[in-house]
Amino acid sequence: MKMMKSALFPQVAEVDITPLSATDLDLVQLLSLAHDPKAGAVVLFSGEVRDNSTGKTVDYLDYEAHESMASKMICAIVEEAAKRWHLTKALAQHRTGKVMAGESAVVVITCSPHRKEAYAANRYIIDRIKHEAPIWKCEYFTDGTKEWGGNCSCQKITGDANKHVYEFEDKA
Amino acid sequence: MKIKVFAALKDYFDKDFLLEEDLKTIADLKAHLAQQQPKALALLNLCRFAVDDEFVALSHLIHENDEISVIPPSSGG
């Protein structure tokens, strides 16, 4: 399989993409890497910083990661999705450090011959990264306060902070 | 053993530190940390623990030179 070409970050054929980036995510560059004549469908998801949270105005987020674990986990999730949906290419990259409102914090690109698989795989990858990768956001508000943020609310349903309800499992 | 903590846990502990105490299991470590910082107990109860980048159970036996990460629930994306 093409994606196995890079041993370290086996995300995109013939291109090394680090799963974590301390600098701006270059969506255009990443998308240009994903073009593939075998893929009739390319889906790009960009998770971006909202300018409001819990009723307050957000200035920026600061992302911290357990870098070695998060990197391995993102690669494993992308690889698993690539196999399951027979993707021709796939990649994911998450920011660390300071990300301003309106900027991209995470990008997932999936490519497949037809769109159904690219959409499904993309949703699976972003869901699992959000819930499982050891990455944390600290929200900095314009009023000068900060708050470690927003763990998911899955615990209310599952009774366990580390068991999650995934959107990709929605029947809708 | 070397302990690394992340995110909101850094409000209670240094981001990494050495422990010399005789702690046999991850459960012992968790209890020790909660004793040091009782206010961190609720968060510690939500955390997972990893040794050498692999998640381990509370029953996991600690070795002297282990590097143990205390991992709060994720809030990425």
- What's the structural domain count of chain B? 1
Which pLDDT belongs to residue A11?
52
CA-wise closest residue to B51 among B12, B31, B25: B25
pLDDT interval class at A10 (50, 70, 90): very low
> How far, in Å, CA of A97 to CA of A99, rounded?
7
Instruction: Please check whether residue B6 lies inside any domain of the structure.
Output: no
User: Which among B7, B69, B76 has the least Cβ separation from residue A130?
Assistant: B76
Q: What is the dihedral of CA B17, A105, A115, A165, to 10 degrees?
A: 50
User: Which among A66, A148, A161 has the least Cβ separation from residue B8?
Assistant: A148
Instruction: Render pLDDT for A100-120 as a digit per residue (tens, 0 to 9).
Output: 999 999 999 999 999 999 999
Instruction: Please determine, for the modelled complex, whether the ipTM score is greater than 0.85.
Output: yes
Sign of CA dihedral A71, A74, A80, A82: negative
* Residue A5 in this model has a pLDDT that exceeds 50: no
Instruction: Please check whether residue B46 lies inside any domain of the structure.
Output: yes
Smallest CA–CA separation between B24 and chain A, in Å?
24
Chain B contact for A106 (CB, 8 A cutoff): yes
Instruction: Please check whether residue B63 lies inside any domain of the structure.
Output: no
**Domain ranges (residues) in chain A:** 2-169
Instruction: Render pLDDT for B9-60 as a digit per residue (tens, 0 to 9).
Output: 999 999 999 999 999 999 999 999 999 999 999 999 999 999 999 999 999 9
Pick among A20, A129, A139, A148 to test the B interface (most B CBs inside 10 A): A148
Instruction: Render pLDDT for A27-85 as a digit per residue (tens, 0 to 9).
Output: 999 999 898 899 999 999 999 999 998 899 999 999 999 999 999 999 999 999 999 99
Which pLDDT belongs to residue A13?
45
Enumerate helices (H) and strands (E) in chain B, giving the number of each.
2, 5
Range of the domain at B17: 13-56
Q: What is the assigned CATH class of domain A2-169?
A: alpha beta
CB contact under 8 A, A69 and B69: yes
Chain B contact for A77 (CB, 8 A cutoff): no
Please give the structure tokens belonging to residue A19: 């799963």
Which pLDDT belongs to residue A159?
75
Which pLDDT belongs to residue A7?
39
* Residue A143 in this model has a pLDDT that exceeds 90: yes
Instruction: Please check whether residue B4 lies inside any domain of the structure.
Output: no
* Residue A9 in this model has a pLDDT that exceeds 80: no
Instruction: Please check whether residue B70 lies inside any domain of the structure.
Output: no
Question: How many of the other CB atoms lie within 10 Å of CB of B66?
Answer: 16
Q: Find out whether A111 and A39 touch, Cβ atoms under 8 Å.
A: yes
* Residue A141 in this model has a pLDDT that exceeds 60: yes
Instruction: Please check whether residue B47 lies inside any domain of the structure.
Output: yes
Which pLDDT belongs to residue A162?
74
Which pLDDT belongs to residue A16?
66
> How far, in Å, CA of B3 to CA of B66, rounded?
8
Q: Give A151's contacts in chain B (Cβ within 8 Å).
A: 46, 72-75
